[in-house]
Every structure is written in structure tokens, then in C-alpha cells.
A and B are shown apart, each in its own frame.
Chain A
Amino acid sequence: MLRIPCPWCGLRDLTEFRFGGEAGVLRPLQPDQSSDEQWADYLYYRNNLNGPQLERWVHAYGCRQWFALRRDTHSHAWSDAVPASEKYP
């Protein structure tokens, strides 16, 4: 069980959230001009860091808002939680 800090609702149990993968994955602005490699990079390739990682989470069973969280994938300790609409640190 983890507890995740929602920027609006505070610290809540993991069961209320859904993980949205790494943050900072940028969708090509002009997909029809992306090569197959560039499109695959966006769709599939990830950093998959062992350690602090910036991630996207959504408080699915609460306020239903998306936010970015810096969380250590090894120790599960987290630091900042930032609403999705702001620039990611």
C-alpha cells in the first residue's frame, strides 16, 4: 500500500489513484510528419528510471484531477506533487 499526495485532496491511499506513466512524454505536434521511429518513441519508448522519477497520476476515486509527482521507484518515497496544468519541474 502506498499513500499518494493529491495536490488538492492531500495524502490518500493508493487505491484511489491510477498511475499514468512517466511525465514529460511529448506528443508530436504534427504526427503526420513523424517518422515511424519518432512515433514509436512517443508511443512506447520510456526512461523507466530506477530512482526518482517524474510521473503522472490521477486521483480517479477522488477529485479526478491529473497531477505530476516526483517519486522514487525504488524506495517509493515521493517529493513534489504538481497539478497537471502547470509546467513540470
Chain B
Amino acid sequence: MSQKFRLDSGGLINRQQSLNFSFNGQKLQGYVGDSLAAALLANGIHHVARSFKYHRPRGIYSAGEEEPNALLEIGQGSWRVPNSRATLVPLQEGLVARSQLGWPSLGFDLARCFDFSHRLWPAGFYNKTFKWPNWHLWEGMVRNLAGLGRAPEEADPDHYEKTNAFCDLLICGGGPAGLTAALVAGRSGLRVILADQDEQFGGSLLWDTAMLDEKPALHWVASVLAQLEAMPNVMLLPRTTVTASYDHQIATLLQRGHNNAWRECLWTVRCRSTLLATGAIEQSLVFPLNDRPGILLAGAVRHYANRYAVAVGQRVVIATNNDSAYQTAIDLFNHGVNVIAVIDQRKDVPAAMLQNMQDIAVRVCPNAQILSSRGGKRLRGLALQQGQKKFKLNCDALAVSGGWAARLHLLCHARGSLRFDTQRQAFLPERLAEGFFVTGSAAGDSTLVEVLARAETVSNGLCSELGKKALQVYQPKVSPSNLESPAVAVNTLQFSRQRQWLDLAHDATLGDAELAEREGYTAVEHFKRFTTIGMSVDQGKTGNINAFLALSAITGKAISEIGTTTFRPPYTPVTLGALAAGHTGEGYAPRRTLAAENTHKSLQACFEDYGGWQRPDYYPSDREDAHQAINREVLAVRTSVGVYDNSPLGKIEIHGLDAAEFLHRIYMNRVHGLAVGQCRYGLMLNEGGVIIDDGIVTRLAAEHFLINTTSGGASRILGRLEEWSQTEWPELQVLIDDVSAQWSNFTLAGPRSRELLQQLDSDIDFSAAALAHMQATHGMIEGLEARVNRISFSGELSFELNIPSSYANGFLQRLLESGAAMGITPYGIEALMTLRLEKGFMHVGSDTDGETIPDDVGWGKAAMNKAADYIGKRSLTRPASLESNRRQLVGLLAVHQDQVLRSGGHFLPGSSQRTPAETQGWITSAAFSPNLGRHIALGMLRDGRKRLGQIMQVYDAGNHYPVKIVPPCFLDPENQRLES
């Protein structure tokens, strides 16, 4: 077993349970409790990646989500997850990990040539070249070199969940600050959600060697957790990252599954207030060649040693500009790791730190900086300067600390503001968003004592703001007493011919920053976009402060003048699958099915989606293709009788004293004069005069109307009616009731439809005398309450039967039984469209568009003759509505009998046959008419009515053919059939 760098004891790992995994095919071992990064380091593996632009060898840099280098592909096939941070992947048995960049291999990467030629590729180089002959020639190469990991090729096999929660207080971060706050708030009775992104609660205490009440800190953590778990008003969410804060105190949390049926769950939490106990991220140090494998953040080095019992090297140097890294030296020493020296940028290192180092015999070099590093795939040594003296050190690991940046992203999402604290060289909260609180190192605390104290104070304040009394909680005593100061020295930038990285993930250097200044990209957003600093997958988490320092140094402006870039959601990347959870596949849009669906299925209907409804398109018998079925259905309706399910039809009842007046204002057509029992076809316009819907208006009683809308428009029209009634005409007394779902609607159409109806058990008189065309009646049919309209969209004698939806299946079957002898034929949408096309009845949305006004489709007279105002009327007298040369509804027949007509062809001007040409309009609906034995179509043609009888050319997808313009009615223009 070769975990050469695993320390003999300690760590939160389970040494009894070892795990097998592989990296780039190499078989390795680790323990339960390891992260993938820890296990790799335990095996002495630092070099796990190649950098984005220069393809330089890179190693693990951190121990958390701020990791800029160690992005690996985890898993294989459809399970593959690219760009996974090795620091966040919990080790599992059989885990397969691969590096991402590096061809032919990680160890030997041909693209390293970009490193050798790096002077040719400064920031923004692509804007200066690759223009000739055009970008396309180069783009393929650039695209193949760009990108990091590989997306899987198949669909995601994992399942994702979504859930919602409500609370009084959302605490982001379960370290010492968050736990204390949860205790205070939980005890006070507030509903609390405590979320932490790590596998377990504890935050920095998971790797801190501080003692609380003279016991290891995790004892305190366990006792607090036990108390919290016992509180029913507190919800604990480990493995859960708060990813974004939205308006009105809504936050999204991404929870990782742990032996769950789901991989990830996206929470939407609505809270009254939010407490950020999110901690701080250590910042890098900028010096020449600061990117080699073996260089890690000092806190991460402690983290690996204390939590995972992993030594990052055998000869470790520490470089810092603040006190916190000294603890790394102490902890490593206690683990028996050789600490060569502490390189401190500061001239005056605090006495307490010097004393600590003296106690463990570690050399300190104040006023020192690193001039460069050496080593290929692993750090081998450093060249340094202290004052005037230059010297070298051999080492295999370097722990760097450039200060700490508070994690305040969520505060920025919520529009709080930040200010730059020069003592801490960090951005701290300036103005809190409403309902936001910050505590812990996120608020600038640097010692555990401060963290615990402030957490209690802040949560006390929070409780009283939320109206609860805070009870005192016990504060544990911290030892050893930590004399660390929060002060961070300014990260001095030195001049060097060697590159100094500001952004490891995007391979952006100080030279790039200087170039940005030279070319004028000094506004912070320009700087960011030109250099791409901060725009990679880590969003600059470890390098943000240094980038600002660089910009400040280069431009001579103070950081407060420069401002900050906006932190955008999400804090850490969120899986698309989790965002989409529940909304894909069938969850994307509900399928609405007809009440009589089972009967339609038994009739072998071919279903199609129309406006969200699954509706029969046609009913093919065994030997038929679609065309044959449709033709048969059309002919059946014209010669005998057919039945059509129109249940999705919008049906809205209007009751009230002012019902007639209301509808009179809504519709273009007159409503006042409509007699009880009469139906009228109506057009609805919007205020622009454009036709938005059409349908039948039926007067059931003096103050009771039933209107039909297109099935696609039902809810939209209902919304409009309610809007006008509530906001514009509240004085009109009307009740609007949507009954679309209550009634199923079956149309019986054909010359024998009346005959069929008269066979049914009914008290309704269906004779021509009693029920004329465009009349309505009601009664009982087959024991069911029924409303009957004698209206026709097919052009045949036709009756619309409305019966209660729950009886739809039975009723349809009854109709089919009754009509069997006369060959009753169920017909679908295709047949209906052909039938109505033969009659020239327009279909709103196909034959009309966003510009069509009543006159365009032959309703001009009715529109103008109505004296009373109605919605849209005024727009019909605007110049555009009145001009000649508008597109008008016409019919068309192909000049050549066998020509197929298709919707979408455009009319060419004159007798020209070529494009480009000015379009004269287009074919809007077309179908094969079995009654005429040829294709027919409707179209919208400029000045169509003046062009009746003319021959015009139609252009369609590279072809053209001649058509004759005819009136839009191909069958029974006298309407004898439907008025019989």
C-alpha cells in the first residue's frame, strides 16, 4: 500500500475502510472520509492537470470549492461529470478519475508549445489576429483547444429533485459561527434552516486544532448538533450549498444526495431573513512562476494535514503576508512534517509569531519575497530575496497565504454593498441588504474567540428583529489563546521577466494586467473581460483580491475607487439537471387529454398535440395511410354523417344584467339584438383592431350568454374578459364563468346527422322547423343534460352537442352505436380542416396573423356598420387599416390539376417567376379536397379581392407554379347544405 504521504495518525478518515479508485488508469487507494484530492495527495500525486492556455503542469491548490487547477473528469460514459473539483468529490469505491487537458497524455502534452511560445499569446491576442482570410479558418482549432472537460454523450441517467421550504431564518454556513447562531435562533423558537456545503457540519473546525473547553473542537460541534437535531423548528442540511439569493428573500440551495434515489435536489427557500456565516477564502500570493504543482494555499495544507492526515510534502516552505499561515507551521510540525522556513513579506513580523516559530525551531525570514520557483511537474525549490540578500531553498511543497477574502457573494446577489478594508486587505460588508446579516470570518473576524462572540451578538439582534426573545447560550472557552492579528500586509507586486499568475484557472498573468492598462482596459469590467481574470470556473475565488491590487497598482487608483465586479449567481456552479428537475419530459408541459380519450383510442385514432391537447388527427383503419383515412372521413361527412370531438372548445358563460352590453363591447359583431335561442358568429379584436379570436355567441336567456372561443384561446380569452370587466368596466354587472372543462362537445355533421339525432332518446325537437341554422336549444339526450347548437364549421348540416364531461366516453359510444347502420364516421382535425377549407371558413392563427383586421377577411362592412364602440374599433380607422393594397383572404386553385398546394408559398408579383421579388402575400392553408379531386388553398394576397380571376405565380422552396385566384369558397357557395 503506497499512501506514502498519509500521516500515521489523526484525521477524520476511517482507516478501517479503505477504498480503491483510479486516476488516469493508475490504481490507487484511500479511505472513507477522504476527498479525491486528499486521496491523490496521500499517494503523492500533485500534478493532476494542465493549465487552460499554456498547458503548464498544474497541481491541487486548495481544499474547497475555490479550486482553480484540479478539475477532473469523474465517472465514465453517461455518468461522466466533467470539470469536477477533486477537492469536492468524496472518495468512493471504484471511482474513476481522469485529467482533462493534455494530449497525448497528462505527462506529455504537445500543447505545451503554447507555453514555450507564450509571448505570442498575451491577453486578447485573438482580437489582434486570425482575421485573414476570415475567422472560420482558425476557429475550429481554437474551439478544439478551448473547453475543459468533455460533456457526456448520452442522456443523464441520474434523477434530480426539487423542493420548497419556508423559514424565519436561513443560516448559510455551519461552522462555529453558523452553529452558534442556529443554537441561539433555534432556542428562541424561530424556524431555522442551517445549510453547509461540506459533507458534515463544523466548517473550519473540521481542520482547526483549537480546543474548546479543553477538548477537540469537534466535541463541541457534536454536542451542538445533538441539541439542534432535537429541535423540531430547526432543519439541518449538510452537503447543501446556498447558491443564490434572489429578490424578496428567496434563496436556492443545491443539496447533494447521499445514498438517495436522487443525485441532487434544488431547494427554493422563502425566508424572512438570511444570516451569512459563510467564512472566508484564502487568497493566493503573486510572485514569478507561482503556479507549479506543489504550491497550495496554507490553510489547505493545514486542512489536508488535520482533517485528512495527509502531508503535502516532505520539505515544506510557508510564504505569507499575514499571521494565519503560522498556524500551518505549528500543525505541520506537530504532525512531524519538516517545515523548512516561513517566508514573511512583512518587515515587522509580530513578536508572538516569531516566538511560536522559535518554539518549534522553524526559521523565519521577514521582509522576504520569492523571486521565482523551479521544478517541472513538481516544485523543487525557490529563489528568494530578503532585504538585499538573495538565497535559495530546496523544497517540494510551498504553502502560500495572501490573506482572506470574505465569502459575501450572496450578499451581493441581494444587492448589499462592499467596502475595501485596508487593514485586512479584503472586501467586507458595507451596506447590508434588507433582512441580511453577516457574522464570522465573512464579517472580518479572524480568531475563533471573535467568531463565537460575534455570532452570539448578531443572532441576538436577529432574534429580536424577528420578534423572538433570545436566550443565552453557553460559550465554550477557546485554547490555545490565539494571538493572531487580522492585519494583512499589502501584497507587494514585484517586477520580473518571468510570468506571475493572477488567475490560475484562465492562465492570466500580471503581464496581461499590464497590457490591459496599456491598452486602456482599466475599468474593472473591461479589465476582467480583456484579461479574462475571474471568469473561469472558479470565478476568481482565490485571486480576486490580487487582481484588484494589480489593477490598483497599475492604474495608481485606490481600490475603493476601482469598485468591484458584480458577483453573479450562482455562487458555485449548479447542475442544469437540478435546475430542470421535474420540468423535463412529461413534466415540461402537462398533456391535456380528452374526456373521451379511451374511446378515441379504441377507434385507433392517431393523436397529435394541438395547443397542449392530445387530439385525434385522423382514424386510420388497418390498410389506410393518413391521406386515405382523411379523404374517407371528409367524404363520409359530406355524404352521410361524421362525429367530431370538439371538447377543448372554450366555453364561457356570461350572466348578469349587463351581459349583453358587455359582450357588445367585446365583440366586433352586434350582440344586443341577438334573440334568445339564437347563435351568432363573432370576431374578437384587440385594441389594435387585429383579430385575436373567433367563435359563436349564443344567447341562452335575456341575461345569460354562452360564448365559444378557439380551443387554443380559451384561457387567454377568459383572462381578457375578466380584465376588461374588473379594470375597465367595473360598473357593468356581469359574472364570468369558465365552463370549458365541464362540457364535452361532439359535433354530428353530414346530411344524415338530423336523422341520427332523431333516433336518440331525447326530448329535443331536431326538425328543421324547430331548430334552424344558427339556433340553440337544450334538453335531455340519452338521459343527459344537453345543450345543442345548430352551427357548422364543415359546411354540412351540423349539430354541436354539449353534454357533461364525465359522460363523454359513454355518450360517444352511444352515438357510434346509434349511427353504425348509417356508417357514422369519427373524423379528426385533419378532416375538419379540409372540410372547412372547402367552404373557405378561415382559421384564426393560420389564415390570420398579427396584422389581420376584419376587412381583410371579408368582415369589413360588419365592422364599420356597428355604431357602438367595441374593442379595436377605433384602430380600424387608422391610416394603415384604411389603405389599399392590404393582404386579403382569397381562395386559390392550381392551374395544373395535379399540382400540390402547400401552405407557406409566397405570391410573386406580376407574372415574374424569379426571386428576389417583393412578396404579394402567401398561402395560409392548403389541403387535398376529395370532393373536388384536387388541392385547394386559402391565402392572404395583396389586393386579393381585386385580383379574382387572375393567374399568379407562387414561389415555394426553390420551385414555382401558377395558381388562379378565386373566391374563398370551393363548395356549395349558397350554403344550401348547412341550412337544410
Contact = CB atoms under 8 A, between A and B. Distances in A.
Interface of A: 1-3, 18, 20, 27-28, 30-32, 34, 36, 39, 43, 56, 58, 60, 64-66, 75-77, 84-85
A2 B719 contact: no
Contacts of A39: 874-875, 878
Contacts of B878: 36, 39
A20 B268 contact: no
Contact of A85 (B250, B434, B722, B730): B730
A89 B270 CA distance: 29
B722 A84 contact: no
A33 to B, nearest CB: 9
Contact of B250 (A1, A30, A34, A84): A1
User: Considering residues B727, B873, B878, which has the most beta carbons from chain A within 10 angstroms of its beta carbon?
Assistant: B727
Contacts of A60: 719
B687 interface: yes
Interface of B: 246-248, 250, 268, 270, 415, 434, 687-688, 719, 722-723, 726-728, 730, 869, 873-875, 877-879
Contact of A34 (B270, B723, B874): B874
Contacts of A56: 727
Contact of B728 (A27, A32, A36, A76): A27
A77 B728 CA distance: 27
A58 B719 contact: yes
From DSSP, what is the main secondary structure of chain B's interface residues?
Answer: helix
B687 A32 contact: no
A20 to B, nearest CB: 7
A66 B728 CA distance: 11
User: Considering residues B722, B726, B728, which has the most beta carbons from chain A within 10 angstroms of its beta carbon?
Assistant: B726
Contact of A66 (B250, B434, B688, B723): B723
B722 A66 contact: yes
A45 B247 CA distance: 28
Nearest to A31: B874
B201 to A, nearest CB: 28
Contacts of A58: 719, 722-723
Contacts of B874: 28, 31-32, 34, 39
B726 A1 contact: no
Given A3-B270, A32-B869, A36-B878, A84 B726 contact: yes
A32 B873 contact: yes
B719 A43 contact: no
A84 B415 contact: no
A31 B415 CA distance: 45
Contact of B246 (A1, A36, A66, A85): A1
Contacts of A66: 722-723, 726-727
B274 to A, nearest CB: 15
Nearest to A30: B869
B421 to A, nearest CB: 26
Contacts of B415: 75
B726 A3 contact: no
A31 to B, nearest CB: 4
Contacts of B869: 30-32
Contacts of A31: 869, 873-874
B743 to A, nearest CB: 20
Contacts of B250: 1, 3
Contacts of A43: 687-688, 875
B723 A2 contact: no
A2 B727 contact: no
A13 to B, nearest CB: 8
Given A1-B248, A32-B874, A39-B874, 19 more contacts: A1-B246, A2-B247, A18-B719, A20-B723, A20-B727, A31-B869, A32-B869, A32-B873, A32-B877, A36-B879, A56-B727, A58-B719, A58-B723, A64-B722, A66-B723, A76-B248, A77-B434, A84-B727, A85-B730
A2 B248 contact: yes
User: Considering residues A1, A36, A58, A76, which has the most beta carbons from chain B within 10 angstroms of its beta carbon?
Assistant: A1
8 contacts: A31-B869, A32-B873, A36-B879, A39-B875, A39-B878, A66-B726, A77-B434, A85-B726
Contacts of A2: 246-248
A36 B877 CA distance: 9
B735 to A, nearest CB: 12
A65 B726 contact: yes
B411 to A, nearest CB: 15
Contacts of B728: 27
Nearest to A18: B719
A76 B973 CA distance: 58
Nearest to B879: A36
A18 B716 CA distance: 12
Contact of B247 (A30, A32, A76, A85): A76
A60 B873 CA distance: 27
A1 B579 CA distance: 13
B247 A1 contact: yes
A1 B722 contact: no
Contact of B268 (A1, A32, A65, A77): A1
A68 B432 CA distance: 29
A31 B270 CA distance: 46
A50 B726 CA distance: 27
Contacts of B879: 36
Contacts of A64: 722
Contacts of A75: 415
Contacts of B268: 1
A85 to B, nearest CB: 5
Contacts of A36: 878-879
Contacts of A1: 246-248, 250, 268
Contacts of A18: 719
A1 B246 CA distance: 6
A31 B614 CA distance: 42
Contacts of B434: 77
A62 to B, nearest CB: 13
A32 B876 CA distance: 10
Nearest to A26: B728
Nearest to B869: A31
Nearest to B268: A1
Nearest to A23: B727
A85 B727 CA distance: 7
Nearest to B736: A64
A54 B719 CA distance: 21
A44 B726 CA distance: 21
A76 B250 CA distance: 13
A15 B247 CA distance: 14
A43 B728 CA distance: 14
A1 B722 CA distance: 25
Nearest to B688: A43
Contacts of B726: 65-66, 84-85
A73 to B, nearest CB: 12
Contacts of B873: 31-32
Nearest to A43: B687
Contacts of B246: 1-2
Contacts of B688: 43
Contacts of B719: 18, 58, 60
A43 B270 CA distance: 38
